[in-house]
Chain A
Amino acid sequence: MIMIKRLHKSVGVYIDMGNQFLKNISPEWMWKSGHYSGSSLRIGIPRMFFYYIYPDLWETFFGELGMEPVVSRPSTRKTVEKASQISETEHCLPNKLFDAHLAEVVGKVDMVFVPRVLSTIKNHLSCPKFGPLPDAARADIARGTEVLSIDIDENKRPLSKTLLLLGKKLNIQKSKTLSAIKSAFIAMESANKKMVLLNKKKGKPRFLLVGHPYVIHDNFIAGPILSKLESMGVEVELISFADDTPAKSYILWSTANKIYHKLNTLSSEDYDGVIQLTVFNCGCDSMMIDTYRQLVKDKNVPYMYLMVDEHLAQSGIDTRVEAFIDSLRWRG
């Protein structure tokens, strides 16, 4: 994979061969490091996509390596306003938000981290939108800032190997990287456990919320729906993507496969309803929604999908959620 990269303003064009090591790159970088005074290297992590796919992994990993990870703030109305100014109109909402999150950390950090997520489960694929993210960042929003990138491709090598390579890329001792990987994996595991349940109290009804991890955990997209459900006293379980063994199915998309598997093994005793959260122009979801609907219908569990776009009013969400819960009460 060859791409052209411009390093700082004066250095000119440099060809990055995918996993090229940073130590080879820039004399300017070296020169700058000599003038350095004070604390450790700051690395910026946009709070989108891979941040939610690997929760707590990156902060812990970079933190253990002695860097200072800096994460953008949860998405808000302001993030969306920013996104609409700087991002491509044809992108899906999470991708727009990603751009805004990236813009938020750029200028506050020495280096931003944007991995190329190609596959998160072996023999499965991620959304093709993840592929060009590092290049797009270099070309546009993070222009002039170092973009640290690595290919995350489970078909080629497992995540631990990828992280090891990342450590090597940053010129860090192997033993230190290994211990960082260990604690990062522990942190991810515990974060994954925390991410599943919203309301701890045992009550009825109990809902399952499904969707891409970066959709159901985003403050702007899912926040109003989650707080609405919470204020109505509903117990909500968010679908977990932690379990790493994919079930055999014909679906190649990693998130869609997990949702499919979850809905396929759903029991009407466990859940009183399923809410699917999707964003307006998600191609993967538009392919899968009818399949999901049919799966859940066969199990005789009520199903509703909520489509969120950047200008969806809160009242529209409230109406749908209230009516959905009303309809469950009428069923008895």
Chain B
Amino acid sequence: MNNSCYLGIDVGSISTNCVIITPEGEVLFEIYKRGEGNPIKSVQQCLAQLTEKLPDRFSIKGVCTTGSGRILAGAVVGADVIKNEISAHARAAIQLYPAVRTICEIGGQDSKVTILRDGAIVDFSMNLVCAAGTGSFLDSQARRLNITIEELSSRAMMSENPTNIAGRCTVFAESDMIHKQQLGHEQKDITMGLCNALVRNYLSNVCNGKEIKPPIVFQGGVSANKGICRAFKDALQCDIIIPPYNMVMGAYGAAIIASTSCIEKTKFRGKEVSAHHIITKGFECGDCPNYCEIIEVLDEDELIGRTGGRCGKWEGRTEPREALKGTGPRGSVMEHQTCRQVGNVPDLIQIGVSKKYRLSDK
């Protein structure tokens, strides 16, 4: 019996998820953990749980990290592959439903739509600067209603006559919701109205101009919310598929990517990392006028990785700081200089014009 397995870690804005699969793609187990804003700790706790659950005969042959904290997590656990979450989610959906043509993914801070044709991504879109069409919108409204997010989900399912709530912006939604509360609308109708508002916002902002064609797979943390699923079905007028590992699809996709990327020897630093004392330290690069904040990840005293920086010269490098510093920014941003830049010019002491260019009366 083959005892190798692959680990996928998805470090998102709200949750940290782990999935372990066999080389055949079968899920051994999954962990969904809502993080407390400390991605390193969350990853370590996930690894600790993993140590408890995973029988000793299994050995991890490859690790892939994804999500917005993928680089930091990759440094902590020693990832073989670091993959963006759009590809990871798509990989997972294709694994389960090869015919999928649309993937809707709503997470804590991000919402995305991925359009696939014949098993390949042809188009995708991600929410822009605002988190209005994402899980954090529901979170803040649930807090406002003084109910948990699970209650919000179950109450929305009971609604028969959903209230119409403006969903363009969380601030507007909140004032509209209070107004509706004052008018005496029932709470279950308001919660369903919120779900409808989120979906409407998602469809008009993120899916704008995209061809949403079934089969549609709906995944990400928000897909656990029954009210949202119902709102989706109403809005799209077709059935949507909620995959079995809907909450951890990113990590599942990452694990599949790890298992298919022919890793000979894994860089995985071992499950013991969960007990290590890992800290981060920031410093300002200063090699160019961007003054990027670079974060160094330290395991005890050993440097295990760096994140941050716009030019990418620090990313993932573990050389001593002195070896990289002073080399100037990497990459070539358009620079064609034929005169002095303001930085080299001393402050003006006296305003004036030379005699040669004096603005004479003649």
B346 contacts across to A, CB distance below 8 A: 108
Asked whether B172 is an interface residue with its Cβ less than 8 Å from the other chain, the reply is no
From A10-18, A245-253, A254-262, A314-322, the one touching the partner chain is A314-322
Residues 102 to 147 of chain A near chain B (Cβ within 8 Å)? 104-105, 107-110
A290 contacts across to B, CB distance below 8 A: 209
| A107 contacts B348, C-beta separation under 8 Å | yes
| B121 contacts A330, C-beta separation under 8 Å | yes
A selection of 7 A-B contacts at a CB cut-off of 8 Å is A33-B359, A35-B352, A76-B289, A226-B331, A231-B312, A302-B123, A307-B128
From A83-91, A156-164, A217-225, A264-272, the one touching the partner chain is A217-225
* Assembly CA distance A42 to B341 (angstroms): 12
Residues 56 to 99 of chain B near chain A (Cβ within 8 Å)? 68, 83-87
* Assembly CA distance A265 to B52 (angstroms): 61
B161 to chain A, nearest CB (A): 36
Asked whether A295 is an interface residue with its Cβ less than 8 Å from the other chain, the reply is no
| B341 contacts A72, C-beta separation under 8 Å | yes
Asked whether A37 is an interface residue with its Cβ less than 8 Å from the other chain, the reply is yes
A-B CB proximity, top 3 nearest: A36-B352, A227-B331, A327-B121
| A110 contacts B352, C-beta separation under 8 Å | yes
Asked whether A177 is an interface residue with its Cβ less than 8 Å from the other chain, the reply is no
Q: Interface residue count for A (Cβ, 8 Å)?
A: 82
What residues make up the interface of A, taking CB atoms closer than 8 Å to B?
22-23, 25, 29-30, 32-33, 35-42, 44, 55-56, 59-60, 63, 65-74, 76-78, 104-105, 107-110, 170-172, 187, 191, 194-195, 198, 217, 219, 222-224, 226-228, 230-231, 280, 290, 293, 302-304, 307, 309, 311-312, 314-316, 318-320, 322-324, 326-327, 330-332
Asked whether B265 is an interface residue with its Cβ less than 8 Å from the other chain, the reply is no
Residues 92 to 147 of chain B near chain A (Cβ within 8 Å)? 119-124, 126, 128-129
B356 contacts across to A, CB distance below 8 A: 40, 66
Q: A41-B354, A314-B310 are in contact. List 15 more A-B contacts (CB 8 A).
A: A36-B354, A41-B353, A56-B336, A60-B338, A67-B357, A69-B340, A72-B342, A74-B289, A74-B333, A76-B288, A104-B342, A107-B348, A223-B333, A230-B331, A311-B129
| B358 contacts A56, C-beta separation under 8 Å | no
Closest to B340 in A: A70
A319-B290 in contact given A23-B361, A55-B336, A280-B128 (Cβ < 8 Å):
no
Asked whether B233 is an interface residue with its Cβ less than 8 Å from the other chain, the reply is no
A319-B359 in contact given A70-B340, A107-B348 (Cβ < 8 Å):
no
A69 contacts across to B, CB distance below 8 A: 339-340
What residues make up the interface of B, taking CB atoms closer than 8 Å to A?
68, 83-87, 119-124, 126, 128-129, 209, 288-292, 310-312, 330-343, 345-348, 350-361
| A30 contacts B359, C-beta separation under 8 Å | yes
Closest to B331 in A: A227
| B334 contacts A76, C-beta separation under 8 Å | no
B289 contacts across to A, CB distance below 8 A: 73-74, 76, 78
B353 contacts across to A, CB distance below 8 A: 29, 32-33, 36, 41, 110
| B339 contacts A319, C-beta separation under 8 Å | no
B337 contacts across to A, CB distance below 8 A: 71
* Assembly CA distance A198 to B331 (angstroms): 9
B330 to chain A, nearest CB (A): 7
